[in-house]
Structure 1
């Protein structure tokens, strides 16, 4: 699958669409270089953004660089810690990790919306875009989340 074959749905939030356009512009037909995506700078416009890499013999996904957001809609990511620690339990962990691994392998972005992400007894409608980045011969990910509806109290 080529990079230009991936398209966001019309329902994707504008901020995710803007970020995808930036990623695609930097890609120029190839997976863009990680040096083009400074999380600290990008977090001014995209407050829920993070870089994800792999570590260890099992290539566990870990947070490489995380925006300093006031509120993450899941457990706050911690640089150097496993991504799985931040994802809500049960099937969400498997779904998220498999999606991230597929993006690392394929080199093609992935978009996902969820309507029941629990955080502190609340639910929200969220969208997530994860896209690959080149780090030398290896790959990392850049991920952006967007809350599409305000958090509600049950």
Structure 2
């Protein structure tokens, strides 16, 4: 699958659809340049936005740039720190990291939705789009999360 044939499901939130359309417009059939995605500027419209890169000999995923959101639906990302520190424990760390690494390798965006059950019987629905960006001879990622009100979903 190429990046231009990737399609979001019908359930994807509007803000994620808008961001994917922006990514596609910048991509022009290829992976868009990271310089086209200023997290500080874009965070006004996309508050849960971050760039992710790799660091160290093991190519650990780290937060390159992070929107200054009031509340993240997981551990608050810290620029320069490992992504794994912010992802909820257990299987979600492995699932998220594997998804990000696959997107880096393939150049194809990835979309994911998950539901969390909170104390008091409430649920939280979260969606995430991660897409590759070109940086010199390599790649980074741009990721957008959206918390969806379950009473308005579907």
TM, length-normalised to structure 1: 0.93
Q: Does the C-alpha gap of structure 1 residues 14 and 96 become closer, same or farther in structure 2, counting only changes over 3 Å?
A: same
Mapping 1:69-148, distance limit 5 Å: 69-116=69-116, 123-148=123-148
Contact 1:114–1:125 (8 Å) recurs in 2: yes
CA–CA separation in structure 2 for the residues paired with 1:136 and 1:92 = 30
Q: Write out the 4+ residue segments of structure 1 that deviate beyond 4 Å after TM superposition.
A: none
Root-mean-square deviation (Å): 1.8
The within-5 A match list for 1:14-33 is 14-33=14-33
Cα distance in 1, alignment partners of residues 44 and 7 from structure 2 = 25
Runs of 5+ in structure 1 lacking a partner? none
Number of residue equivalences: 150
What is the TM-score when the length of structure 2 is the normalising length?
0.93
| Higher strand fraction (1 or 2) | 2
Structure 1 residue 16: Cα displacement:
0.1
Unaligned stretches of 5+ residues in structure 2: none
